[in-house]
Structure 1
Amino acid sequence: MASISFHHPFLLNPTPKKLITTTTRSITSSSIHIEQREVRNRSTPSRTLFTKCHAVTEHDEKVLVGHSSEEERQVADYDWTEEWYPLYLTKDVPDDAPLGLTVFDQQVVLYKDGNGDLHCYQDRCPHRLAKLSEGQLVDGRLECLYHGWQFDREGKCVKIPQLPADATIPKSACVRTYAVTDSQGVVWVWMSQKTPPNLDKVPWFENFARPGFQDTSTVHELPYDHSILLENLMDPAHIPISHDRTDWTAKREDAQPLLFKVTERTDRGFAGWWGKEKEGSTSNFLCFEAPCVLQNNREFVDEKGEKHYFTGLFLCRPTGQGKSMLIVRFGATKRSLLFTLFPKWYFHQNACKIFEQDMGFLSSQNEVLLKEKVPTKELYLNLRSSDTWVATGSGWTKLGMECLTILGTAPFRCLKS
């Protein structure tokens, strides 16, 4: 099997945060029993009681992921603002109007000034709190349509029509700004107000920089949590069943055991190889970089013996509790004939169909997790032959579900599943 030469920031030069330690205890009982456990709801002083049925056997330990031990959740400090979040596709940002977006329930407005440079503010006029995204661009400045206040690229108010001629604009007439950067066709935002933006943490995708690489991109607003979305994208086993005949690759009869090999696991994410058991190889390279980036890479050799590269890239932005946005980018250095025959809208339509097929499952899953308020390992039966990525990534994806503070001035207090 040819090795893929894909490099990823957290694999080459990880920027470790505070490591989360765990303690384990073995489960030796081989009988089915009902276990009652008190779980303190950290948002309120009250207690809730739930029951869970365990069927623990030697066979289970061979086929289930992480069912032979339990990890006690540890509290860790993690400031989610000190990350870059994917806002939008650069090519889709309007040239002549502001764009309202959301990150963790924080409303922001993105726009291009007269020079085409990108800027991002809090989506709130300091005058009477009207949404600036409902405004307009005037000579490269963002104007609030409520009273006409205008703001420059630094967020300072430079015009108030109702201000007397001999008065000066108050220094407090300004909006909160966020750093943005355009990288490989995606606009990223740095949400922290206390820490300068770290450009070394902007994700970089080597295949997208290769000569001849072309991609098709779509954007989707989804009614379920960012962590549920990531978990779904880490799950190749559901595709033949849930998306049977949705396109030419998904067929129900192809459902089979999968092979997994985790090669890297750090506090910045994980990476590894996977493939179908019938093929006998792990030719797909999956890489997750917390908190937003998941990609699947593959190399292939054409009939002329030339090596080509394929990437399925998923950029997930948490827009709020139970809501997320996803940028999907499929690309390769050699495009198949199908990509030239079908218009771009077809691929967007097909992607929407796929997410609609999963929506019922994921929405109900989201409801259960929000209600239970316990780690997924207490509820899931993850198989080694299908759910290894889901189990491996749960420590990071569930941080989003269990954060107790949403973009406050203090770091998040998060629980690792």
Structure 2
Amino acid sequence: MALLLAVFFAALLTGLPIFIALAGSSLVYTHFSTMIPDFVVLHRIAGGVDSFPLIAVPFFILAGNLMNTAGITNRIYDFATAAVGWMHGGLGHVNVVGSVIFAGMSGTAVADAGGLGTIEIKAMRDHGYPDDFAVGITAASSTIGPIIPPSLPMVIFGVMANVSIGQLFAAGFLPGLLMAACMMVYVAWYAWKHKIGADQRFYWAVLGRTLIGAIPALLTPAIIIGGMATGAFTPTEAAIAACAWALILGTLLYKSLNWKQFYRISMETIETTASVLIIVGAASLFGWVLTTTRVTEQVTSVLLSITSDPLLLLLIINVLLLIVGCFMETIAAISILVPVLMPAVLKVGIDPVQFGVIMVLNLMIGLLTPPVGMVLFVLSRVAKMSFDRTVMAVLPFLFPLLAVLVLISIFPQITLYLPTLWYR
């Protein structure tokens, strides 16, 4: 085990990609420390991605890319502006509401930050909002994307933990809305403190017109969530339905998608899917090594020797995940830590669906923390701000997110109400 972990951390410190660190350290371990043939490494990597639910990954990625390219983000933003732009700190609220709607389409925080973020930051700058506030609220609201279904990280968690993806999607809905509510409270407080007024007056006619324009886009989350809730299709089939609907909108209704754009989107989807699946495969191998060497049992024993109280255990795990999120990419962290932490979580009676939402939210907060916060890098480029200034702009917005994390850890009903209502 010392050899395995030494090679793994040495590879990370030298800047090698995470999948090479995972697979390479496992290969070194199996080659020098066991009698296991080396070809088992390839078998375990292939077995890690040989999973039907993982078919949803490329389709959810493709659906998000199609939505970004088809001009749907502009319609969402216009509707959100008409709906809440009249409030004090209006464009801050628009930012949050737009992210909630877009979350039902993309499933990733980076897509939200890169898609809606460009529109939102420019609009807030044009209306005289401080750059720091514009970047901070854009970054924080983008984390709603992987909490409200569909969610790419929850698909990976469901595969690694053998948990119903449909239940995970249902469990994320209320916490996602709670995140939005907490952020809007913070925006209202900021607007009151800095005497920021409304950005436009409320007009029913404008709301109706923008709603009509946004209805086709708003049907996307309705198709995904409604279809799974009624049992019409599985999460994988929901991803395919989302892609089909996005294609209909882009090619037939809005006519904003051409073959050249579709080719580019397809190549981007293939590239992103390949990077996700190779991490999943390498992490499956690494997790198998940890399990066969009984590391997971040892971690469980250590955690249970500290406490058997579910709340205290969740507190310890939350701290661990927040630290890991600062240094590790989301998919890799889920793939590595789920086999290690799940045995202890199950032994103290924590519902795995609740734990899945808690884990994803922790790692979403990690996207806003240096040194590996992907959302920070994206918005730093979008806003043309230094990385250091972007980090400082985001820091105040971590408090609403941490408040939601505490609430869903203490009150499991927030996450389990809808899964219980729809699936149990």
Bin of the TM-score, shorter chain as denominator length = under 0.3
Between structures 1 and 2, the one with greater strand share:
1
Mark the structure with the bigger radius of gyration: 1
Q: TM-score, normalised by structure 1?
A: 0.22
Q: TM-score, normalised by structure 2?
A: 0.22
Query: Of Structure 1 and Structure 2, which has the larger fraction of its residues in helix?
Result: 2
Higher relative contact order (CA 8 A, sep 6+): 2
